[in-house]
Amino acid sequence: MNISVIGTGSFGTSLSMVLNDNNNRVMMYGRNQDTVQEINERHTNSRYLKDIKLSETITATASLKEAAAHAELLVLAVPVNAMRSVASDLNGYLEELNKQVLVVHVAKGLELNTYKRVSEVLEEVFDEARVSDICVLSGPSHAEEVALKQPTTVSTASLSEEGAEIIQDVFMTDYFRVYVNNDMVGVEIGGALKNIVALAVGALAGYGFGDNPKAAVITRGLHEIARLGTKLGANPLTFLGLAGMGDLIVTATSQHSRNYRCGQMLAGGLTLKEATEQMGMVVEGVNTTKAAYELSEQHDVEMPITKVLYGYLFNGISEDEAFTALMKREKTSESEGLKQLLESQIKNSK
């Protein structure tokens, strides 16, 4: 299959390697001409995947129109805040070329101000005649490990079942396993909101806290993800799978995670602006924290960790204020929260 990967970052590059290993004809698109030239001439992408050699059959272009013309499948591996603009440009080129493609995105976040999931943004932007289906690929998958062909498992979901099955076939290798999930909302919400928890856990690590508070934030964070996701129509069982618990564990416990590292930097005294600039890559959890907090307020969903992190990132509350707000909340029952999730799922299924 002719596949264009839109984005030459670490994950776009590692997925290009997976797709190439599956005998697809892969073209990468990037705005940085130096990166494009490096991929074509040296077969490396040293800024994002140091010491990794790319196949000579993977090509790159700085022309989005050329990428659109090449593609039967478009893999959108750009940050959420760029997704609407890039998709709009692609739609224009597809219309000019009078062609239809399958689209899959790998972004993990919510659009600011609209609070939309990425698939909802893409549905708005792409003309129906230009896409056969819109899919998401998500799960515990550090680009650095995918590029080394370490065993990885992810989930895919789509607006129609056929699209997800095609994505499963196209990406599946002996080291990259893909499961089909019929819960588009849950897969996207799980992938987006786990970044919030990873930021919080990274901050805990930066402040020198141990495993007990980290485990508490990861576990209670999963509850928050499930509460908001279920309110938005997701199946709560999705959050016990790869796109939920799996992605949360890998993102909230690893130095590969830019959200985790950003949290550490903030705890180390850097401002939000300084931390994100030093990262040199988009930290999706920052914008997602703002979007998720505002969305939880809109839907009256209790998300105390998200609320406290929002205050920490955007309103300047101190470490002590943050922990006081979490630890001295009104007493409640853990089983009551689980009961509410189950009752919500039963209600949604009727």
Q: Alpha helix locations (H) across 98-183? A: 118-125, 143-147, 161-171
In whole angstroms, what is the distance from residue 30 CA to residue 3 CA? 14
Under DSSP, the state recorded for 329 is: S
Residue 259 annotated as lining a ligand binding site = yes
Which of the residues are catalytic? 194
Residue 7 annotated as lining a ligand binding site = yes
Question: Would you say 27 and 60 are in contact if contact means Cβ atoms under 8 Å apart?
Answer: yes
Question: Would you say 244 and 226 are in contact if contact means Cβ atoms under 8 Å apart?
Answer: yes
Residue 171 annotated as lining a ligand binding site = no
Residue 12 annotated as lining a ligand binding site = yes
Question: Across the beta sheet with 101-105, what order do the strands follow?
Answer: 59-61, 25-29, 2-6, 73-76, 101-105, 131-138, 152-158, 176-180
Residue 257 annotated as lining a ligand binding site = yes
Locate 92 and state its tokens: 């224009």
Residue 119 annotated as lining a ligand binding site = no
Q: How many CA atoms lie within 13 A of 176 on its CB side?
A: 28
In whole angstroms, what is the distance from residue 39 CA to residue 262 CA? 28
Residue 212 annotated as lining a ligand binding site = no
Residue 284 annotated as lining a ligand binding site = yes
- Burial track 170-182 (b if 16+ CB lie within 10 A, e otherwise): bbbeeebebbebe
Residue 31 annotated as lining a ligand binding site = yes
**Would strands 73-76 and 59-61 be described as parallel, antiparallel, or unpaired?**
unpaired
- Collapsing DSSP to helix, strand or coil, 103 comes out as strand
Residue 282 annotated as lining a ligand binding site = yes
Residue 143 annotated as lining a ligand binding site = yes
Q: What residues form the annotated binding site for sn-glycerol 3-phosphate?
A: 108, 139, 141, 194, 247, 257-259
Q: What residues form the annotated binding site?
A: 7-12, 31, 48, 108, 139, 141, 143, 194, 247, 257-259, 282, 284
Q: What residues form the annotated binding site for NAD(+)?
A: 7-12, 143, 258
Q: What residues form the annotated binding site for substrate?
A: 108, 258-259
Q: What residues form the annotated binding site for NADPH?
A: 10-11, 31, 48, 108, 143, 258, 282, 284
